[in-house]
Amino acid sequence: MVSRFWANFRLSGASEIARRYFVMNAFDGILTLMGLVVGAQIVRVADIGPVVRAGLGAILAMGLSGSAGAFITERAERQRKLKELEAALLVPLDGTRHGEAARTAVVVAALVDGVSPAIGGLAVLLPLFLLPPGVAVVASVTVSLALMGLLGAYLARVARGGLLVYTASMVGVGLLTAGLLMTMERFLP
């Protein structure tokens, strides 16, 4: 069963899609939760409990949205490709390895798309569970930037070069987001 899954996974070409979904959605989870933490700090939320609960709600919503959206979208794309192949071959492919591989790709895409923002988001929230509030916010932002750096390093490896460029790009977006949030403080009532 496991070997058949991996054979279908390879046949479907889903590894590239899974890699892209993982990086993009982990980044979304990290950046969203970092924004929540920084935003709560800016408006001086005294009790970190509601921030954690809001963060968990955001993680749940991103996970369900990602899974459902990827499942529906990837299924439509895979069905289109199967129908094109069926038209070219004049043979139905629904019960074949190609049909099975398409279904495997859909499930993998949905799982990766749903789980990756949760992993990133939970990592950002973890300091809020473990540390005193003043230290937790700094630790949470530090974890966020470190994870963005790791995602950048991973992308550099995928691209076979540009470690500094990819890492700086990912971390730069995090710093830009934090900076914009801090700038917004002046305009908030």
In the chain, the amino acid numbered 31 is: L
pLDDT exceeds 90 at position 122: yes
Residue 143 falls within a domain, yes or no? yes
* Rounded distance between C-alpha atoms, residue 4 and residue 115, angstroms: 23
The Cβ of residue 28 has, within 10 Å, a number of other Cβ atoms equal to 17
Q: Give the structural domain span for 135.
A: 2-184
Distance (Å) of CA 68 to CA 8, 104, 112, 174:
21, 15, 11, 27
Residue 100 falls within a domain, yes or no? yes
Residue 27 falls within a domain, yes or no? yes
Half-sphere exposure of 61 (CA within 13 A, CB side): 9
Contacts of 55 (CB under 8 A, 6+ apart): 33, 36, 37, 121, 124, 125, 128
pLDDT tens sequence across 64-120: 999 999 899 988 987 888 788 777 877 776 777 777 778 888 888 899 999 999 999
If one counts the domains in the chain, the total is 1
* Rounded distance between C-alpha atoms, residue 126 and residue 134, angstroms: 14
pLDDT exceeds 80 at position 14: no
Does residue 188 or residue 17 have the better pLDDT? 17
pLDDT exceeds 80 at position 54: yes
Arithmetic mean of pLDDT over the chain? 88
* Rounded distance between C-alpha atoms, residue 180 and residue 186, angstroms: 11
Structure tokens at 30: 């990290």
Distance (Å) of CA 143 to CA 38, 66, 132, 180:
13, 23, 15, 19
* Rounded distance between C-alpha atoms, residue 111 and residue 18, angstroms: 9
pLDDT at 5: 66
Question: What does the chain come to in residues?
Answer: 189
pLDDT exceeds 70 at position 11: no
Structure tokens at 96: 């074949």
Are 172 and 166 within 8 A, CB to CB?
no
pLDDT at 3: 75
Residue 189 falls within a domain, yes or no? no
Residue 153 falls within a domain, yes or no? yes
pTM of the predicted model over 0.95:
no
In the chain, the amino acid numbered 136 is: A
Residue 57 falls within a domain, yes or no? yes
